[in-house]
Amino acid sequence: MKVLGIDPGSETLGWGVVEGEGLKYKLVDFGTVKSSPKESFSKRLLKIYEGVQAVIASFKPDTLSVEEAFYANNVKVALKLGQVRGVVLLLGEKNGLAIAEYSPRLIKQTVVGYGNAEKHQVQEMVRLLLRLQKAPEPHDASDALAIAICHFHHAGVQNRINIAKLKK
Angle between helices 139-167 and 119-129 (to 10 degrees): 70
- Give residue-wise pLDDT tens across range 45-74: 999 999 999 999 999 999 999 998 766 677
Q: Judge if pTM exceeds 0.85.
A: yes
Per-residue confidence at 129, pLDDT binned at 50, 70, 90? very high
pLDDT band at 98 (very low <50, low <70, confident <90, very high): very high
List the catalytic residues: 7, 67, 140
CATH number of the domain residue 71 falls in: 3.30.420.10
Residue 96 contacts residue 56 (beta carbons within 8 Å): no
Euclidean distance between CA atoms 96 and 81, whole angstroms: 23
Domain count, the chain: 1
The proportion of the chain whose per-residue pLDDT surpasses 90, expressed as a percent, equals 75
Domain that holds residue 65: 2-167
The continuous run of DSSP H or E covering 79 comes out as helix 75-94
pLDDT on residue 7:
96
What digits encode the pLDDT tens for the residues 108-127?
999 998 888 888 999 999 99
* Contact present, 148 and 98 (Cβ < 8 Å): no
